[in-house]
Amino acid sequence: MTDPATAARLVNELVDLMHLEALGEDRFRARSEDIGTPAVFGGQVLGQALVAASHTVGAERPVHSMHAYFLLPGEHAPIEYAVDRVRDGRSFTTRHVVARQRERIIFEMSASFQTVDEGVEHQLAMPEAAAPEGLASELDQRRALGDRLPERWRNAALAPHGIEYRRVERDDLLTPTPRPAHTALWLRAIAPLPDDPVVHRALLAYASDHGLLRAAMLPHGLSFMSGRVRPASLDHAMWFHRDFRMDDWLLYVIDSPSAGGARGLCRGSLFTRDGRLVASAAQEGMLRVLPEGSPLAGAGGAAPI
């Protein structure tokens, strides 16, 4: 378990990662973190782009949806975000964000914001799941692999992080048993966050990219850590339904309704511990499986998800 001082430092580093330097004319610059993957983590770009769009909208209009495309792999280097104020209506505001590195567009996103209004209410019921307190963290699961953990993962994959993930199912991280394309995990920031709702939504966008594509691998007994799968996020959508805090446990329930054509589609629902559905996510990703013995196997890979 991470000690309180270290936990606070790691969470502050994540909050700082979402801090953007204003360049003028609705343009911003942000730094990148290196979590040990060949390209910058897609969740980082999702969160930063959402912050950039939010900086051009008043606090009285929170984001309710975002739709993004990952166009090129990002480098572990600063990223510039340019926001286009597409529309400011009576109830809805639309923003378009483009992310660039070295004059190349690597990512684009549209986000919609809305005034707080009253209306009909219903939601999907939260499924039963084991409580997070009785589950091992993914970090502890990776540490338990010992010498079985591939060498390329032994630095970043064993370092503590500001967001903790605990899988409800106890799969083998390297050679999971094939099973239906359904999974669930708990997630939260490991120390208190500022009260700013933009920070909580940006960090949930960040975390929503973790574990989502894994559901498409489950029926095939494959793992991203094996080195045989070359994944890449292609697009990502989120809908924010209700208020929440990222420093409280959230249950991420994920399924994959289809895979084919070297792509997998995955969907996720995020619930608070008391059963409120606070957000939904969907992502399609490239999933290329390399043959056994391929010289490219083990050469790359995604985040340890």
Which residues are marked as active site?
A: 209, 233, 283
- Chain centre distance of CA 74: 15
6 vs 181, 190, 199, 204, 291, CA distance in Å?
35, 10, 20, 21, 41
Reading the block at residue 36, the tokens are 């040990």
- Binning the chain into helix, strand and coil, the percentages to the nearest 5 are 20, 35, 45
* β-sheet with 229-240: strand ranges across: 21-24, 27-30, 79-88, 92-101, 104-114, 63-70, 229-240, 277-289, 263-272, 250-260, 182-189, 163-167
> Is 126 within 8 Å of 104 (Cβ atoms)?
no
